[in-house]
A and B are shown apart, each in its own frame.
Chain A
Amino acid sequence: MPDAWTQKLDTYLDGELSAGEMSALDGHVRACSDCAAEVLGRLQLKRAVQTAGKRFAPSADFRQRIQKMSAAKRQQRHWSWQMAAIAAVFLVVLGISLVRVKQENYTRQIYSEIADLHVSTLASASPVDVISTDRHTVKPWFEGKIPFSFNLPELQNSEFSLIGGRVTYLEQTPGAQLIYHIRKHQISVFIFPEASALPGDSGLGRHTTFEMQTWTQSNLRYFVIGDAPAEDIGKLVDMFKKAEAKQ
């Protein structure tokens, strides 16, 4: 015979009653044979529906189709990440290239300026402010005129002769310009305090129409430029490097 609990049997079997009601109904089912039989019947019905309900299975072809569709989305997402990564790399490379181009342009500009300074000195009626072949005269002359000191090489037993020196400017920075003579060629040696913006070391090479070499030593930036053969420029560079190293 149905009673007050019968209405709740399905909810009880679905596990959706409150804990208190579940416990109370558990007790009732143990005592009421009608409800116990009803619970058993409904439970079997639930199982029958569950079994019968799992009736249809998709074909392998269809499963593959859906899998491909889902994977395509994943690939697309993966691809979009790849595209983003490629774009990022491209931008970085482009950025580096632009920086390099900018640096190269700047280097070229500095070399041109050094060449201009060299040419204008040679063209000047008074190319040097201190005229002396003695390095012990020339070097002290710069004291107080430029914010650094430097060493000049010993010229004995060499073909080079010192003409003199003058104060010059590169990028608003004061520096020393020394004029040397070898056979009929004049060579300028420029010395500036090292600045990060100045171009890096460069081997002997032809910049503009002159041979030029530049390097950094003891926080000083050296430029040696002239129309002398590369071999002579190289010799003078070595002499300066040795003189500075002896300090």
Chain B
Amino acid sequence: MEVSKDRLTAATFEELAMPLFDQLYNFAHWLTQDRSEAEDLVQETYAKALRGFSSFQLGTNFRAWIYRILRNTFLTSRTGLKANVPLEFDEGTEPSAGPETPETLLLERAQQQVVQEVMAELPVNYREILLLCEVEEMSYQEIAETLSVPMGTVMSRLSRARKTFRDRLRQKLSGVTHA
């Protein structure tokens, strides 16, 4: 969602931000894992974005801009500070896929609830990058803008997040199967 110079005069904050409301709330809830905290986070995000809208740069990505505000607001909150564990090997080589059981077999047994549980238990940095990529369908460039990290970091972190997700899902499913 890029705002051109020509459109800026007509484009109000409301027109740009309200269509993203549901997605932002969903993302906030995934980050905070709590409805009330998610509402506070979204409200603060909108308040900050409203105040800073005049400084929003023309021609840049509004979605990445407002997601970045939300994420930074979360990271400086009490929950965010607690959840933001530094990731090791963030810039390193991407993990090898290794011999894995075909995902088709895993997913045949996977329940949506289990997937949600695994996602909720992921470290917040992995959870957010998976959400931005798979749920928000952001490009690597947009994710890099949102997270304020280089493209290389996006690729390696995404790869690690996926591997961690797959490993945990497998563990969870095998536990379910054994139970």
Contact = CB atoms under 8 A, between A and B. Distances in A.
Given A2-B97, A70-B46, A46 B25 contact: no
A58 B25 CA distance: 6
Most chain B beta-carbon contacts within 10 A, residue among A51, A70, A73: A70
A56 B50 contact: no
Interface string A54-82: 11111000110111011101100100000
Nearest to A78: B12
A53 B27 CA distance: 9
Contact of A58 (B39, B103, B158): B39
B155 interface: yes
A41 interface: yes
Interface stretch (B56-64, B68-76, B80-88, B108-116): B108-116
A25 to B, nearest CB: 14
Contacts of A245: none
Interface string B127-145: 0001101110101100000
Nearest to B51: A73
4 nearest A-B residue pairs (beta carbon)? A41-B103, A53-B135, A56-B29, A52-B115
27 contacts: A2-B96, A2-B97, A2-B98, A10-B159, A16-B155, A40-B103, A41-B103, A44-B103, A46-B134, A48-B110, A49-B165, A53-B30, A53-B130, A53-B134, A55-B29, A55-B30, A56-B35, A57-B25, A57-B26, A58-B42, A62-B42, A63-B21, A66-B18, A67-B14, A70-B14, A70-B50, A74-B13
Given A49-B130, A53-B130, 19 more contacts: A1-B99, A7-B96, A7-B97, A10-B162, A16-B139, A37-B104, A41-B107, A48-B112, A49-B165, A50-B135, A53-B119, A55-B29, A56-B30, A57-B25, A58-B42, A63-B21, A69-B47, A70-B18, A71-B14
Interface of B: 12-14, 17-18, 21-22, 25-26, 29-30, 35, 38-39, 42-43, 46-47, 50, 94, 96-100, 102-107, 110, 112, 115-116, 119, 130-131, 133-135, 137, 139-140, 155, 158-159, 162, 165-166, 169
